[in-house]
């Protein structure tokens, strides 16, 4: 019965457009994955690793791992730009997704902040295995009677394209971006069965502001909006950071979950941060799962701009 319910769930996801990109609670530390304009904005060599276990206790639950790397390549070029790499793998029941993409962003100082325009391109792979349980005449069908369900593993690979813009000052940031711009369709076939998976364009809006108090506390509210036009998801977040050392906060995902966040900037190794979040479901899934758990590790190594060499010649010395 559990396998039957899981098959129905995965079929629903595969044949719908709604929210195909993986979901993360600590989205404020995962900007490059959805916005190539963020590449190199931190003026450092930065790497981030996020692992998410969604809907704990639910068989076939979504499991996602993501790695991103970005750097500002100035002063090595004269265009003042940044580059980035994002690789993520997602598994939902019998469905597996792999996405790897490279990003390039051009930076321009505007006012008190930095505007960055970026593009990204890469590969997107979708695969489904054939371990299905369907309702045959005796309730124990193996899936062979449904041509829309592969009997064995089927997969397809396609090119993926994205675009983004990001603007940030010392205490404020805002970003607009879109993934899967070409809205490709992946098709896989095995023997007499096949699958078709259509990627929808996803649109993202992000924004945040640092509110500095008189003491060592900084309040960091932020918003993260994801939409594929058919559906929209809104995350409202607030973190309170103490002395640039530890932080804690709450996140609310509209009609879905409320989350607790916590993290620390490891004092023994400057640039290293570790975070964790736990989601408590507010939807009907709460009756079947124990929430979602997410871990984040990030490290940034500042880029040291070379000193300008200045020559001085005195008329007193020939």
Beta-strand runs (E) in 129-271: 154-168, 172-179, 185-190, 193-198, 202-209, 211-212, 217-227, 232-242, 246-253, 257-265
- The model's pLDDT over 128-150, given as tens digits with 9 standing for 90+, comes to 876 655 555 455 555 455 666 66
- Torsion of Cα atoms, 73 then 75 then 77 then 81, to 10°: 40
Q: What ranges do the domains of the chain cover? A: 2-302
pLDDT of residue 31: 97
DSSP structural state of residue 134: B
- The model's pLDDT over 80-125, given as tens digits with 9 standing for 90+, comes to 899 999 999 999 888 899 999 999 999 999 999 999 999 999 999 9
Structure tokens at 15: 């044949």
- The model's pLDDT over 204-261, given as tens digits with 9 standing for 90+, comes to 999 999 999 878 999 999 999 999 998 999 999 999 999 999 999 999 999 899 999 9
The pLDDT-based confidence of 64 (bands split at 50, 70, 90) is very high
- The Cα 198–Cα 203 span in angstroms is 16
Q: 143 CB contacts (<8 Å, ≥6 apart)?
A: 130, 132, 133, 134, 149, 150, 151, 193
- The Cα 48–Cα 65 span in angstroms is 11
Task: Flag whether pLDDT at 290 surpasses 60.
Answer: yes
Q: Between these two residues, 2 and 66, which has the higher pLDDT value?
A: 66
Q: Hey, is 287 helix, strand or coil?
A: helix
Task: Flag whether pLDDT at 318 surpasses 80.
Answer: no
For the ranges 9-13, 74-78, 165-169, 175-179, the lowest mean pLDDT is seen at: 9-13
Q: Hey, is 99 helix, strand or coil?
A: strand
The CATH fold assigned to 2-302 is Porin (2.40.160)
Task: Flag whether pLDDT at 317 surpasses 60.
Answer: no
Task: Using the CB atoms, write b or e for 233-261: b if 16+ within 10 Å.
Answer: bebebbbbbeeeeebebebebeebbebeb
- The Cα 85–Cα 100 span in angstroms is 8
Percent of the chain's residues with pLDDT above 90: 62
State the burial class of residue 214 (Cβ atoms within 10 Å of its Cβ: 0-12, 13-18, 19+): exposed
pLDDT of residue 195: 73
DSSP string, 22-34: ---S-GGG--TTT
pTM: 0.84
Task: Flag whether pLDDT at 276 surpasses 70.
Answer: yes
């Amino acid at each position: 019965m559990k396998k039957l319910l899981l098959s129905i769930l995965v079929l629903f996801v595969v044949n719908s457009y709604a929210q195909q990109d993986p979901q993360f609670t600590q989205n404020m530390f995962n900007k490059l994955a959805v916005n190539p304009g963020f590449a190199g904005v931190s003026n450092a060599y930065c790497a981030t690793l996020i692992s998410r276990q969604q809907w704990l206790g639910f068989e076939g639950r979504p499991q996602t791992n993501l790695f991103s790397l970005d750097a500002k390549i100035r002063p090595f070029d004269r265009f003042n730009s940044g580059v980035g790499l994002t690789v993520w793998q997602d598994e939902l029941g019998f469905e597996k997704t792999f996405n790897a993409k490279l990003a390039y962003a051009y930076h321009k100082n505007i006012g008190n902040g930095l505007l960055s325009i970026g593009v990204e391109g890469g590969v997107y792979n979708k695969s489904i295995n054939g371990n299905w349980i369907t309702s045959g005449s005796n309730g124990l069908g193996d899936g062979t009677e449904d041509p829309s369900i592969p009997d064995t593993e089927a997969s397809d690979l396609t090119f993926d394209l994205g675009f983004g813009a990001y603007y940030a000052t010392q205490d404020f940031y805002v970003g607009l971006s879109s993934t899967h711009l070409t809205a490709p369709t992946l098709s896989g076939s095995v023997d007499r069965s096949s699958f078709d998976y259509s990627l929808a364009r996803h649109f993202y809006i992000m924004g945040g502001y640092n509110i500095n108090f008189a003491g060592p506390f900084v309040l960091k509210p932020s918003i993260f909006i994801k939409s594929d036009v058919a559906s929209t998801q809104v995350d409202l977040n607030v973190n309170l950071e103490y002395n640039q050392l530890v932080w804690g906060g709450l996140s609310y995902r509209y009609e879905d979950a409320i989350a607790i966040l916590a993290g620390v900037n490891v004092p023994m190794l400057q640039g290293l941060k570790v975070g964790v979040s736990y989601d408590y479901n507010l939807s009907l899934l709460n009756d079947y799962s124990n929430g979602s758990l997410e871990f984040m590790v990030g490290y940034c190594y500042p880029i040291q701009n070379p000193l300008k060499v200045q020559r001085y010649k005195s008329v007193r010395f020939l």
